[in-house]
Amino acid sequence: MIAKAEGRYLRLTPRKVRQTLALIKFRSVFEAESILLTVNKRANEYLIKILRSAVANAKIKGFNASQLYVSGAECNCGPMWKRFKAAAFGRAEPILKRTSHIRIELDLKPGE
């Protein structure tokens, strides 16, 4: 692992973020960014920001962006915000507003 970046406590459901992360895993940095710019998902705004942060971290260490690929991308569950809505017969139904912790790791392309 050359560089990493994290986004924590993001108001996105982890299940939906994982769908997009599956598209960019094991791809070059430029290819991953172009995929995120074309696919229409709400998580892409945050994922592009985290990916660019990881590339900036790698540049600080002296690596070029063309040498890098996404070696790891994971999304874990953060804390849930609990809300309640009124239901029939005086009951209340829980609403769970989920949050995500996203982590993107970059590494050198094999053979470079």
Q: How far apart are CA 104 and CA 4, in angstroms?
A: 6
Q: What is the pLDDT of residue 106?
A: 97
Q: Tell me: the pLDDT tens digits for 58-72?
A: 999 999 999 999 999
Given the candidates 2.40.30.260, 3.90.470.10, 3.10.310.40, 3.40.50.1780, the CATH classification of the domain at 3-108 is 3.90.470.10
Q: What is the mean pLDDT of the chain?
A: 95
Q: How far apart are CA 2 and CA 4, in angstroms?
A: 7
